[in-house]
Chain A
């Protein structure tokens, strides 16, 4: 009994008091900023392993970016990765960072469905589906609910059954072999429901975008409510993204 109290005492306060404002330690590759510096554009765009860098003008598509940081290493005067972990949006175009711009990535509140704020504003239960995910985003989703990030303080939890869920969270590029299970899980979730894509692989297919073993037809059928970029997405990106979607009032 005394040992238990000692252990609890030694933990101190582990929770992050405010996950919307806390700064991450050390270096972190979050939202990139692109300067107006002139560089060899072809070299820069060819460098990217997922062709996430577009030209005329230079832009980075966070939905495709693997956050490897190679572009910023080769062209430090052109591209820098800031420690801003707020990367999520409900609009794919908002994930595209343009040169000369330094503004946060945000959810556009005007197109968030009304029932999302009304029904999920205080409590959101999600069912996670890994569909070819490499277990990195899955580990970060788990971490979002550990005692430090403690996402459940906002009433956001992961549940064991789609029947209990308000939406599904997909990680991975959606393999052919998982396509049917994704559909069954979505169908089993009661209305109203949301779809959230976490990680580069889920948003664009990432490195697997042109693999013959994936089947992304599910995403053509339904509209996605939130995209959370990252490789894997940081727990703070996940928490802030979900809060931004469900709590922002018009």
Chain B
């Protein structure tokens, strides 16, 4: 057994991770994942050690609640066999390793650039010469969309190969949003700068990424969060989930031209994000989550205020949702549109909503529990069909579930622990992994420190990193006019992917 099993948010010494040669590392990781539906790769990355590259693989097991970490040292001049040739869930991780370090995989199905990072190995690869798939035929045509889209959204390029109105193939080129954020985590030495960066990873998941960073940092420093801190984080995570899901329901209505749903869900998002502002001074909760402290304690007065807001919000939300889910003209656009099968979701290692909509039970809140989720007895909502309708239903039901959790939480607001403990510096030569279920799905951050206890590597993975491929698969054989509703029903992050 050349791996070490650890728990979510656990810090270990780098030297505790067993190292093997690439062949053994390859066989073991293949064995760990293949045939095990309860396991998937949560992170797989490399960093430079002299002229070599050290690879670290993190495989999470949802039943034993453990994460299996293994490592190996490779030289970039040596060609490697790719795990992706056998298991597609490693596909993007290996492309990223190839792009960043120039490691060549001999049997990778498509070794294409991921995000054109500023520090990529091969600078001759530029945005303009992305190697798109092409099919030579007089019957087919290509449609290119983006990077700038018609609405106010982030940039990305979509290349469709169509037969008439029908999409045969979609390829998504990303990287336009690349800001070098992982490198900035190393360069900015101050904790507040890093916490601010974590909130800027993607501005729609401020609480999700902020909390994940806080977990990594607290674990590296041996800090144990008090109950009131965990309460605030759980509360903020669920409020963020409600706000974005409601906004997405509005977006879905917009994309099928259902004006009433679009306006009503759109305005129902406002009381939730305005509450986040009443609590922490920012509508998207920037500044709310900080490592080691309860920046804005949740007071009993806020609990009363939130209850008032929810008492008005809930019936209005349910009234509109009931209408939408009984509207045959809307359902006919949602049902059997943009299907991803359960087999495909397993195969590509989909996470979060993109997994749960196909019946694949992946939810970090249960499998690698943190904060107050074990007390809430969280039970993930699953859908079976993998279509737009499943994704819309999932959102509606998750909003109701989160409302319940928040009502449970505000019934018992923990007293604020006034004493602020001082941070120890991070442990030297250590590794920490943290998983948090953001509203999109599994967020994973890994922090590595050097001999002096300075951060030497910070690896961020947004759930979108896995799920963009699910979107590309979902639109096959659909009409191109259904692409917007498919895209909105996933609502994946560009900045979280491009970093």
Contacts and interface: CB of A to CB of B under 8 A. Distances in A.
B196 A130 contact: no
A10 B316 contact: yes
A158 B494 CA distance: 21
Given A130-B155, A139-B204, A160-B151, A172 B177 contact: yes
A137 B154 CA distance: 10
A241 interface: no
Interface string B95-117: 00000000000000000000011
B203 A147 contact: no
Contacts of B270: 143, 146, 148
Interface in A62-111: 66-70, 73, 81
* Size range of the chain A interface in the assembly: 35 or more
A132 B177 contact: yes
Contact of B179 (A7, A139, A208, A232): A208
Contact of B196 (A161, A185, A207): A207
B274 A26 contact: yes
Given A136-B284, A176-B118, A185 B200 contact: no
Nearest to B250: A146
B118 A212 contact: yes
Interface stretch (B260-268, B425-433, B467-475): B260-268
Contacts, number: 192
Contacts of A232: 203, 283-284, 286
A213 B277 contact: no
B279 interface: yes
Given A141-B152, A213-B178, A134 B200 contact: yes
Nearest to B284: A136
Interface string A1-44: 00110111011001000000000111111000000000000000
Contact of A213 (B118, B204, B319): B118
Contact of A69 (B183, B281, B316, B323): B281
Nearest to B115: A177
The listed residue with most A CB atoms (<10 A of its CB), out of B176, B201, B264, is B176
B374 interface: no
B196 A25 contact: no
Interface in B251-285: 260, 263-264, 266-267, 270, 274-275, 277-284
A68 B286 CA distance: 7
Given A73-B295, A178-B155, 16 more contacts: A8-B260, A27-B280, A29-B282, A47-B192, A68-B286, A130-B177, A135-B154, A135-B203, A136-B284, A172-B179, A175-B177, A181-B148, A207-B188, A207-B196, A210-B187, A232-B283
Considering the complex of A and B, which 8 residue pairs feature the smallest CB-CB distances, nearest first? Answer: A136-B203, A26-B278, A213-B180, A134-B203, A160-B150, A213-B118, A49-B193, A29-B281
